[in-house]
Amino acid sequence: MKTVLITGCSSGIGRALCEEYLTKGFKVYASARKIQSLEDLPDNELLKKIALDVNNASSIHNAIAHIKQDHSHLDVLINNAGYAAMGPLVDMPVEDLRAQFETNVFAPMELTKACLPLLMAKGDTNCRTQVVNIGSVSGITTTPFSGAYCATKAALHSLSDAQRMELAPFGIDVITVQPGAIESKFGDNSLANVLKRITCLLYTSDAA
């Protein structure tokens, strides 16, 4: 049976991918930082809901151990979890900038590294596995008030290009997906954050 681990399945792309892989007969490990956000996923014997904070080394270790206990391999890893703190760069705390790079850039690299033994477990380069990194059109076209997010996606695209060349000899294909706007809680939260920061900036300017 083929297996897939998907991060960020609480809504949007992750949720849709989870449902689609189930229709293809995959054993799906749907993950989210808060497992409660996965409660409304339909019951399915092929679906396993797991808690996974991609920024926490212990959480990654526990998730991988959980999968390894069930299966000896992974066919697909989808790095979908993301974070956006939108707003003017001049008004963005460095902590928010750093947090976006932690989740959107460093976390996919660390999770891929942790999953390598499972991705390579079949030991046959003719039976290839996949790492799918969810980038964004934002990594190609920079827009105002989302500069930090755009930078993280551009970095992920570049790292994915390097990974593609480095992992190919081991039977692992690295695929970068660059979608446009998606209706999800992620987008709603990002928009609310933009409006909050712009309002705060305008208020500060008026007060001055």
- Would you please indicate which residues are annotated as catalytic (active-site) residues? 149
51 CB neighbour count, 10 Å cutoff: 17
Alpha carbon 177 to chain centroid, angstroms: 11
Interacting residues of 17 by C-beta distance below 8 A, sequence separation 6+: 6, 9, 78, 80
Q: Quote the tokens at residue 127.
A: 């039976």
Q: What is the 3-state secondary structure (H, E, C) of 192-203?
A: HHHHHHHHHHHH
Name the nearest CA neighbour of 6 among 38, 40, 42. Answer: 38
- Residue 60 CA to residue 182 CA, distance in Å, equals 26
**Residue 203, Ramachandran bin (φ over 0: left; ψ between -120 and 50: alpha; else beta):** alpha
Length of the chain: 208
Distance CA 52, CA 78 (A): 13
Report which secondary-structure segment, H or E, holds 50: strand 47-51
